[in-house]
Each structure stands twice: as C-alpha cells, then as structure tokens.
Amino acid sequence: MASNVNPTVRRRRLGQELRRLREVKGMTAEEVAERLLVSQSKISRLENGRRSISQRDVRDLCGVYEVEDQRIVDSLMQMAKDSRQQGWWHAFGDIPYSVYIGLETDAESLRVYEPQIITGLLQTRAYAEAIIRGGSPEASETDNDKRVEVRLRRQGRITAEKDPLRLWVVLDEASLHRVVGSRQVMREQLEHLMEMSQLPHITVQVLPFEVGAHAGINGQYSILEFADAADSSVVYIEGVTSDLYLEKPLDVQKYTVMYEHLRAQSLNVDQSRQLVERVAKEYARG
C-alpha cells in the first residue's frame, strides 16, 4: 500500500467495509458492541470513519463476523494500518476540521455555497487572517496563525498542475459587500476572486440580493465527490462546536438538488464576474 495514502479516506473506506460485513452477518451495532464488551457508539464511530481503527479492532470484528478468508482479513488489517498514518495537516497540531481537510484533499470535485464570506479556497492571506481572527476572538495569536497557514496550504488543491480540484462556488452577494479587514483587503480579495475564476476548473457564480428567499437560505454547505466509485459523496455542514457529515444517498441527493436550484437562480459566470469587478472598483474608489 502506498505510504502517501490519505488516512481520512482510507479510514472511511475501511469503516464502510466493516459496516457491510456486519450487515451481511445480520447483526446490529448494539449486538456487536455487546459481543466485544465495548460501547455501541464506538462501533458507530469505527463504521463512519470518524475514529482511528486499530488492527486489533479489525481482528476482533472479523472474528465476530466470522470472516474465514484470510486475504480479506489481511487486506482490512493493512487498511487499518494505513488509516493511522498522519496527513500533512497533522503537523499543525489540533485542527478542529481535520476530518473535512482529509476529505477535501482526496476529493475530485467540490461544490460550495457561501452566504456570508468568500470561500476559504479562494481567500487571500490578508482576507483569511481577518476572517479567522474575527471569527475566533478568544483564540491565541499562535492558534490563529496556524489556522491561516492550514487554509493557505489547502489551496494547493486548486493550484496543482496535475488533477486540480474541480471547484464550483455559489457566493451570496452579501459576501462581496461585507467589509472584511478593510476596503483595501476587499479590493485585493475580489481581484483575486476574478483571477481565480478564470481558471478552467473553477466556476464562480453570485446569487444576487434580488432573488430573495432561496434554497440556501438555511446556511453554508459543501458537497464533496470522489473519483473512486467506492467513495460515496459527502455533504459537509460546518458548525461552531461540531460539524455535520451527511453520506446517506437521499441526504446527498436533497442537497444536490438544492445546489442546482442555487446555480439556476444565480447570475451566470460572465454576469457574476462583472458584478465582482464593479464592487472591486467601488472599493478602489474608497
């Protein structure tokens, strides 16, 4: 197994396979937990990929599921070993959204709706610094600096020469007018946004105020899709103290339909770029 495998994605695939083995055996998570003398929540966390899986966990679960093919057991054990490797983001210490970063790092495409700010992958350093410091007023300067560096490092996915992340962003018009940092910071940010939107794999649309109520009125969300058919799409909703990951097909489909409505209600690419340019010039005039 390659040493650079994404640990988050590997853990997620392993969890899906362990869930499949449990369902084939016809057992509930509660029954498995009772057999192994562990909590039902541990079994759930192992299956949804939110918790590291040890090789001992895999061995015990394969025993419960009576997996007789040693090749399957060995494969799952190797996946468990790979899943415990650390991604680049672990070098920055405790990052609250590390699970999301792992998914984003391996995603083939990403669709984002942002109602308040310019999305993180398209932020300038100055804008990112102002957003992070403003959003975490009680955090230390060191922690905020660390989060800025992580955010800028993530942007490598959309600037990579080989297989860059396909990014589609719908921004509420409010994100253009909210003065983050200063008018100078906003001018530079919007100019950067226009520049990035020229790349063939990045699409930016603006949802104008005149639309009124719309499908994204409840807030920000992202949809991650992966090249490997074994990896189901994920809807990510960021929270203050915890994040939400939706993987059930019906949930993903609902958010996908909502996103299509947002795209249809937004200005087209050229109109969006013209609006961004007009607002940037307003900032430049002071």
Q: Are 154 and 121 in contact (CB under 8 A)?
A: yes
Domain ranges within the chain, ordered by starting residue: 7-85, 89-285
CATH of domain 7-85: 1.10.260.40
For 28-82, write each residue's pLDDT tens digit.
Answer: 989 988 988 888 888 888 887 767 788 888 888 999 899 888 888 888 888 787 7
Q: What average pLDDT is seen over the chain?
A: 88
Among 15, 38, 35, smallest CA distance to 27 is for: 35
User: Which residue type, as a one-letter code, is found at position 179?
Assistant: V
- Bridge partner residues of 171 (DSSP): 114, 206
Better-predicted residue by pLDDT, 80 or 128: 128
- Residue 101: pLDDT band (50, 70, 90) is confident
End-to-end CA, the chain: 56
- Structure confidence at residue 1 (pLDDT): 34
Question: Tokens 């589609």 belong to which residue?
Answer: 168
pTM of the model: 0.77
Run of H or E including 114 = strand 109-114
CATH of domain 89-285: 3.30.870
Q: Are 132 and 120 in contact (CB under 8 A)?
A: no
For 233-284, write each residue's pLDDT tens digit.
Answer: 889 998 877 788 888 889 999 999 999 999 999 999 999 999 999 999 999 9
- Residue 145: pLDDT band (50, 70, 90) is very high
- Structure confidence at residue 50 (pLDDT): 67
- The residues, any chain, with a CB within 8 Å of residue 84's CB and separated by 6 or more, are 7, 52, 53, 54
Q: Are 37 and 70 in contact (CB under 8 A)?
A: no
Whether 126 has a pLDDT exceeding 80, the answer reads yes
